[in-house]
Chain A
Amino acid sequence: MNSVLGDKRAIALLLGPALLVYSLVMLLPMLWSLGYTFFTGGVLSGFSFTGLSNFTRLFSDPAVGPSLAFTVKYALLVTVGQVVAGYLLALLYHFFLKRASNIVRTFIFFPVVLPTVAVSLLFQKLFEFAPQNGLVNSALNLVGIPSVDWLGNPDTAFIVIVLMDIWRAMGFYGVLLYTGLLDIPDDVVEAARLDGANTLGLVRHIVLPLSLPVVISSAIFSINGTLKVFDSIYALTGGGPGTSTMPLTLYMYRTSFAGGDYGYGATVALLLTVLCLAVTVAIFRGNARTQQGADR
């Protein structure tokens, strides 16, 4: 029996196709991309070996610093926003709406499934300044505030990007964290209530500690996604005004395909990958340490 479940030929036939496609189209290109970092040029112009010059260029490139800073600033702010907003939503679903939360959950989940490009274009129109005021500026005018050129100014453009990506994903984290809250036994909450805990104390001392693992997982998922942000910013601001909202992903894309330098593009992609891996490892380490501390 175990010989059937351990049949080498069967394993090869079942696992083989997936492993082959995955290796050829993802793993091999990853390694290949590492190789590109030692070359300069592109498909059309041809490649030539340049040693480590891409890396020295990476460290002296005046665009990399701001781009890296933007990526980190964006990722931290949006991750915190998504998880906090999601957690508040989850509390609302679980403790206030209870069984009636279904329909509200469905509505707030809407933007999660919508195409990012469509949402970005919608926000472009909502926050439009010229030639025609969008809904937001019209509403501001109604209460006597003059129109703001939201996407024409680095700071306000950043605000719109952050708002949009929190709007897009908070419903998702709401549902994810809500399932975490459902795992908290009702009698624990009930007992604390009977002991006279008020709502805030209840959340802080009972609910939050008990749902901390899901909160941490959510933060990991969120930062893993926000560090790789591309679609929403590409479609909303295109990195502008100027290069003020240019994450590393977009910078890599521009240098490779608009600039035609695959070697340097691959080097920027490598920097991005290292950043993603470093953050993931750091969070897992930190998570393990807190859990050890909690066990003691």
Chain B
Amino acid sequence: MTTASTTAAVVRDEPSRPVPPADKGARASGRSFVKRLPGYLVVAVLLVVFVAPLIWLLLGSFKTQEEFLRNPAWALPEDFGNISNYATAWSSVAGYLLNSVLSVFPALLITLLIGTAAGFALEVMVFRGRRTVLLLFLVGIMIPGQMILLPLFTVYFQAGLSRSLWPLIITYTATALPLTVFMMATYFRAVPREIFEASTLDGASIFRSFFSVAVPMMRNAIFTIALVQFFFLWNDLLIALTFTTDESLRTVQVGLLNFTGQFGVVDYGPTFAAICINVFIILALYLFLNRRVMGGLAAGAVKG
């Protein structure tokens, strides 16, 4: 299958890749620099296109409402010490962040635990119907989320869960499962079966083999999947929008959407500050772990 082979190809760690031979003395001569100049220009333009909007966003978060209306859009803020926008934004964003944390992390923990166990069972254990079950999980990756929203909403409503974060925790756990199982199975496939055969020969029960051999060995893989799923769940809008009926239950993404409405469309400063808080939390995490994130997301590309 195409998907399986490509994911396997991109899972590898970057440093182990063959390094292409360096251009022999290319950088030493001035003539080849001129030849390479158009290329450098392209790179420079690309970097501007990708970084400038974020810098503009950051600058805007320090401007007062008056500056927004009086000065042109590219003007620098007059006072970089002006953090009143952040104070205003934080008063509501803090609650949104808490809701996001309280719904994403429990879901993440449950998914990782049962998803790793399932991946282990599907690749290491021997039984009939393994392929079928794996395919069944793959269906969950392909089907649009809209297909499950309505029945779930009905059930949550009738079970009286609507005024809690449970609908989010449950739905997040389930929607993260297919990709977790699929990726975990891919990682386990690369592990020689002999390792588990040896541990069972040594008298370990299958659960001992799972918790004392498989999980420690898969620590890196589990961490990578946790990162990937964190980004998917943290950035989710559709599920959070559907199941948060109460204003006090809004996650960051839903809260941010209503933020503009709450303060009126023209209250720029706090809106910029709120977007900034949302953006730079994620950016800090990404900069800290960028290799891992890139590799992990590439491996989880099936999700589209």
Interface residues of A (CB under 8 A from B): 1-2, 4-8, 10-11, 13-15, 17-19, 21-22, 24-30, 32-33, 36, 43, 89, 92, 94, 96-99, 104-118, 121-122, 125-126, 131-135, 137-139, 167, 171-172, 175-176, 179-180, 182-183, 186, 213-214, 216-218, 220-228, 230-231, 234-235, 249, 252-253, 256-257, 262, 265-266, 268-270, 272-273, 276-277, 280, 284, 287
- B145 contacts chain A at the CB level, 8 A cutoff: yes
Contacts of A110 in B (CB 8 A): 50-51, 54, 283, 286
| Cross-chain contact B43 with A104 (CB below 8 angstroms) | yes
| Cross-chain contact B181 with A273 (CB below 8 angstroms) | no
Picked from A121, A227, A269, the residue with its CB within 8 Å of the CB of B260 is: A121
**Distance from B140 Cβ to chain A, minimum over Cβ atoms (Å):** 5
| Cross-chain contact B282 with A115 (CB below 8 angstroms) | yes
| Cross-chain contact A22 with B177 (CB below 8 angstroms) | yes
| Cross-chain contact B39 with A109 (CB below 8 angstroms) | no
| Cross-chain contact B120 with A14 (CB below 8 angstroms) | yes
| Cross-chain contact B144 with A18 (CB below 8 angstroms) | no
Contacts of B303 in A (CB 8 A): 221, 225
- How many A-B residue pairs have C-beta atoms within 8 angstroms? Tell me: 311
Closest 4 CB pairs of A and B: A225-B304, A25-B174, A224-B304, A18-B118
Which residue of chain B lies nearest to A280 when distances are taken between CB atoms in the complex? Answer: B142
Secondary structure at the B interface, as helix, strand, loop or mixed, is helix
* A28→B117 CA distance, assembly (Å): 22
| Cross-chain contact A7 with B304 (CB below 8 angstroms) | no
* A257→B157 CA distance, assembly (Å): 13
Q: A125-B60, A217-B3 are in contact. Are A2 and B126 (CB under 8 A)?
A: yes
Chain B contact residues (Cβ within 8 angstroms of A): what range?
A: 35 or more
Which residue of chain B lies nearest to A232 when distances are taken between CB atoms in the complex? Answer: B237
- B109 contacts chain A at the CB level, 8 A cutoff: no
**Distance from B194 Cβ to chain A, minimum over Cβ atoms (Å):** 11
Picked from B43, B137, B147, B302, the residue with its CB within 8 Å of the CB of A221 is: B302
* A28→B154 CA distance, assembly (Å): 13
Contacts of B272 in A (CB 8 A): 125
| Cross-chain contact A132 with B142 (CB below 8 angstroms) | no
**Distance from A5 Cβ to chain B, minimum over Cβ atoms (Å):** 5
- B223 contacts chain A at the CB level, 8 A cutoff: no
* A107→B294 CA distance, assembly (Å): 11
| Cross-chain contact A121 with B293 (CB below 8 angstroms) | no
Contacts of A15 in B (CB 8 A): 117-118, 121-122, 133
